[in-house]
Chain A
Amino acid sequence: MADNGDKKFGEVVLSVKDLRTYFYTRWGVTKAVDGVSFDLRKGETLGLVGESGCGKSVTVLSLMRLVPIPPGRHVSGEVILDGQDIMELSDGEMSNIRGRKISMILQDPMTALNPVFNVENQLGEPIRIHQHLRGKALWDMAIDALKRVRIPAPEVRIKDYPHQLSGGMRQRVVGAVSISCNPLVLVADEPTTSLDVTIQAQYLRLLKDLQEQAGLAIIFITHDFGIVAKNCDRVNVMYAGRTVEEADVRTIFNDPLHPYTQALIGSLPKMEEDVERLYSIEGQPPALYDLPPGCAFAPRCPHAMDKCNEAYPPEFVPGERHGVKCWLLEGTAPLREEAVKV
């Protein structure tokens, strides 16, 4: 059943519509992001999944307006955050939003902290800059952030330097830094690569806690389907710069419709059961400067038809909040433009 279980989500806080970010170099144009769309609601966790080169990191950099321009260029598309299209803002205005309304949690929580500054300094920085607080007000906010990530004796710990903190504590402090200004959206880019299983579990629990406390919306960029299964409510699968399938997490695991999603799900080994043979797709993801005409996945797709090599498929909507860009759905599902908006 393609629904979100018993979780209730709030209103849409972030709406990305047909985002396109290209890089212009002397060797040609790299269409790093070429049509990504999703809506993110309050309290919801979206998993942006895909393999190397699919464009997920550039998508998120685009959301944060951190793409180097030039050679990058925001070609088209809207990113509506809290009612405002952030693509239209000036650099100064965006600087104000970044860290405050949309915040990014750094990749490696164990080494993300600056070793020569103590917690108070690092935690205080975003608060000082965005909230313009000083003195006691700043202190209170910093202590509050530490309490929210459940650091015991925060008044003492706040004076510590990173090397004085255990791994688990450092993780929490990094979490505190990113939520210190109460953002609406938190972006976590591959936050648990190279972490041990138990540390990873702790970290994901922390993020879930933070989400429950404040109705935070989270975007997880990951290629780890375990994170998707555990923490994500919705999944946006990217291939060669585009969203190819978007649906709630159960649909993605139980009934994926795009051949790429199907192949990915089928290729995952499972700890919980014996798998006779993993499904493996031939070849590898294409280079973004050398995309085939038509559907980028066609060369590797077991169901490819002539049409697939000629034109890139539009988005079909086979179910409520389920979008698939694949010609196989033509005739059996309405186009996005025709579908009734949810």
Chain B
Amino acid sequence: MTSQAPQAPAVEASADGDMVLQIQDLKKHFGVSSGFLFARSKGSLKAVDGVSYDIERGETVALVGESGCGKTTTARCILLLEKPTAGHILYRGDDVVTMKRDVLAEYRKGVSAVFQDPWSSLNPRMKIRDIIGEPMAINWDISREQRKERVGQLLNDVGLHAYQMELFPHEFSGGQRQRLAVARSLALDPDLIVLDEPVSGLDVSIRAQIMNMLKDLQEQYKVSYLLIAHDLGTVRYMAHKVAVMYLGKIVEHGHASGATGVFEETLHPYTKALISAALPSHPDIVREEIVLRGEVPSPVNPPSGCHFHPRCPWVMDVCSQVEPERKEWRPGHSVACHLYDPDHMATPIEDLDQAPRVY
């Protein structure tokens, strides 16, 4: 274990470290019916298979990984769109998974979402005033005038104009609609907003506008974001922390920026491969791409031990037998890999370059 003090990441985390959400060993398994009587092994798709992380006030945590890694399912569990199979989601200390309906109502006000597609996320038959006002009409006991005033203020917050509340969604462009979706998500002054690919459906010049707006709003309201994004540049710009997922598990978790961040000091072989495959941001950047053998296995039948072992370029014997625990390697940076684990390695490595490659 290294004793070097980490450099402060470029994106400052929240000052008070106040906890908004704690996800503990979250699991979501979908039953798979095969038409036969189940034998000893149950057919179940382990979409999320033991995921743990925290989200602090005013902080952005990003989930990255390819299709099928479980990032969307995790977000859906947090939004109560899926019922977790096991684990805990602690909101202000109370477990959302076992919460009673009346307490859940508080949680629903505290967590909202912005989705990827700005074209289908706003009801085309409602005026903006009602789209943004609806959550308030349902949950808050304020007058129509007060509601209207707040809608106007939210529209200003997202860079639009109060008079636009009389318009319908089709009168706005894609980027503007995403702003409206953000305004709606802010209506009840939430603690956490789940951003599911918030800018990937937008034009390049608009993305920066929206990302800057989201960062400014975070600064202003100290709202936390759970960001799902496949573009690693977006993740580095927007997030404080990043969790890399593979087949339902978090393989690496650390800072999104700075010299000690996951992008600079990449620990897990999968993260390394993912980063190596990312497109460069400049033609002179040439990355040696780590081409993984095989394809992503089915989450119904994940490989034994470390789920990544059949494809890992640094695989060892123990990897197919024992599942690695995610352990802290440096304050704020953890990894689930035997290469770094003193319990399984006589000399744990500091860097993937120190480990021999199998292919």
Contact = CB atoms under 8 A, between A and B. Distances in A.
Interface of A: 51-52, 166-168, 196-198, 200-202, 205, 223-230, 232, 249-250, 253, 263-264, 267-272, 274-282, 284-285
Q: Which of A51, A268, A281 has the most CB atoms of chain B within a 10 A radius of its CB? A: A268
Interface stretch (B21-29, B123-131, B204-212): B204-212
A220 B256 CA distance: 31
Nearest to B174: A52
Given A51-B205, A200-B279, A284-B206, A271 B263 contact: yes
Contacts of A249: 283
A51 B277 contact: no
B275 A198 contact: no
Given A167-B295, A226-B281, A229-B280, A274 B205 contact: no
25 contacts: A51-B203, A51-B205, A52-B174, A168-B295, A198-B273, A198-B277, A223-B203, A225-B204, A225-B281, A230-B279, A230-B280, A269-B207, A269-B231, A270-B233, A270-B236, A270-B281, A271-B232, A274-B257, A275-B236, A277-B212, A279-B208, A280-B208, A280-B212, A281-B205, A281-B209
Size range of the chain B interface in the assembly: 35 or more
B278 A197 contact: yes
A177 to B, nearest CB: 22
A269 B284 contact: no
B67 A196 contact: yes
Interface string B233-245: 1111110000000
B205 A253 contact: no
A249 B280 CA distance: 13
Nearest to A276: B10
A226 B212 contact: no
Given A197-B230, A227-B279, A272-B281, A280 B203 contact: no
A196 B281 contact: no
Interface string B329-359: 0000000000000000000000000000000
Given A196-B230, A225-B204, A274-B257, A250 B237 contact: no
Contact of B208 (A202, A224, A228, A278): A278
A3 B162 CA distance: 51
Q: Which 10 A-B pairs have the closest CB atoms?
A: A226-B279, A269-B233, A267-B208, A274-B10, A280-B208, A51-B203, A271-B232, A269-B237, A270-B281, A278-B208
Interface in B151-195: 173-176
B10 to A, nearest CB: 4
B292 interface: yes
A210 B239 CA distance: 38
Contacts of B274: 197-198
